[in-house]
Amino acid sequence: MFSRILIANRGEVAVRVIRACKEMGIETVAVYSEADSDALHVEMADMSYCIGGPLVKDSYLNIDALITVAQKTGSEAVHPGYGMLSENPEFARKCEENGIVFIGPGSRVMEQMGQKEVARSIAIKCDVPVVPGTEILKDAKEALENAEKIGYPVILKARAGGGGKGIRVIRNPEDMESSFSQVTKEALNSFGDGGIFMEKFLEHVKHVEVQILADNSGNVLILGDRDCSVQRRNQKLIEECPAPVLSDIVREKMYDAARKLSLEVRYVTVGTVEFLVKGEEFYFMEMNTRLQVEHSVTEPVCGIDIVEWQIRTAAGIGLPFKQSDIGSGRHAIECRICAENSKDFTPAAGRVEMLHIPGGVDVRFDSALYQNCIVTPFYDSMLGKLIVCADTRDGAIRKMKSALSEFVLVGVDNNREMHMKFLEDGKFLVGNYDADICEKVL
């Protein structure tokens, strides 16, 4: 097992990884930007190093600075968290070349599955259904030509995208040129990769993903599925595990597809295979070769610390449990608490003047917030994740409403009230909702 790990990230996920490492007896090294000098992950880590200015390109995306700190501190491994460089094969390769373990599936697999157009080809090879799409597009003119063949609406996606960034739905030719430019720019700024491809945009579908955990002996476990259909501007807001109103037949077919894809590329550690579901049909969307934001909603149902076993499998430790050992039968819900104006959803910033975190059995809040901390405008707006678990879905909904009513955050505008609206919506209550629910509720 590793004795020291550098965490190449910030905020909530950095705190989450530090907690897992502390429980495992592993020392941690934090990196931070000038804007994050007072951040919680900086205080919690055993060592901390400033690596640049407030903008991510000057700090958290600076591969050379990260490698230098890892070498200087004798870190045996790097945990990339999610977002930032977590799906960047160049970063993984640089770690490997310098004798540092990248806590992920490795640069080769990341190149295959992290580049979404390549992942599509692998899915087709494995007989996993996909929606019509393209290879990487050269420019807006080629995008227009392909959109005519596929038929509107279409969706532009960044090859290295994630977290709702680098993605746009196009409904008519007039919007293609500006949208192509916007997606390319956003992809470059967020991921350092401007590659864009296109797919047919399916409407009125559910967004369901399958959580996998694999070791280097070829064992692939399914830790469950999640419904992530509650999204606004392609950003997930509420996730639940397992996905409601999903038939057992579709669920098993999706699990089988996730296993086939994982075995095809010899996947190791934690990953997520995402699908679009329409009725009894499902389509492969992408594979996230990293820890997901919403891993937290799966943990209380499956009974496994996903971050701990991500680290263990990256260190070459085999899985000691079988598929039959994985827990199920309970239901969990996660609400992402974001810093945003409650009226127009614009990002918010400010000082946390008062913070009260709800408690109780099976209530959890993953966050890097603390009293009097400053929420800056430089990074993602997610402040934390409120997670509850109960024996039934109805029980989980009641528990989440109770937890939200107890949650207090003064000084930074946030979306607590928006979540309460969803939890009182008729379609959400019966579980028969799709990715269009935001348009109807908000």
The domains spanning 132-200 and 206-441 adopt the same CATH topology = no
At 43-65, the pLDDT tens digits run 999 999 999 999 999 999 999 99
Half-sphere CA count of 343, side-chain side, radius 13 A:
0
Structure tokens that stand for 429 in this block:
């209550």
CA separation for the pair 14, 30 (Å, rounded): 8
pLDDT band at 162; cut points 50, 70, 90: low
What is the arithmetic mean of pLDDT over 335-340? 96
Q: How confident is the model at residue 163 (pLDDT cuts 50, 70, 90)?
A: low
As given in the structure block, the two tokens for residue 127 are 């007989």
**Block residue for tokens 């917030």:** 369
CA distance 363 to 209: 23
Low-confidence winner among 102-106, 131-135, 184-188 (lowest mean pLDDT): 131-135
pLDDT number for residue 160:
75
- What's the number of CA atoms in the CB half-sphere (13 Å) around residue 337? 27
Q: Is the pLDDT of residue 183 over 70?
A: yes
**Which is nearest to 407 in space by CA: 372, 364, 373?**
364
- How is residue 318 annotated by DSSP? P
Place of tokens 């960047």: 88
Burial classification of residue 211, based on how many CB atoms lie within 10 Å of its CB (0-12 exposed, 13-18 middle, 19 or more buried): buried
Active site residue 290: yes
Q: What value does the mean pLDDT take over residues 162-191?
A: 88
**Cα separation, 185 vs 350, whole angstroms:** 27
pLDDT at 22 over 80: yes
The amino acid at 318: G
Residue in 226, 259, 290, 364 annotated catalytic: 290
Instruction: Determine the Cα–Cα distance for residues 190 and 185; give it in Å rounded to an integer.
Output: 9
Q: Does domain 4-103 have CATH number 3.50.50.100?
A: no
| 206-441, CATH topology level | D-amino Acid Aminotransferase; Chain A, domain 1 (3.30.470)
Superfamily of domain 132-200: ATP-grasp fold, A domain (3.30.1490.20)
Share of the chain above pLDDT 70, in %: 99
Contact 199, 405 (CB under 8 A): no
Cα of 327 vs its chain's centroid, Å: 22
What are the boundaries of each domain within the chain?
4-103, 132-200, 206-441
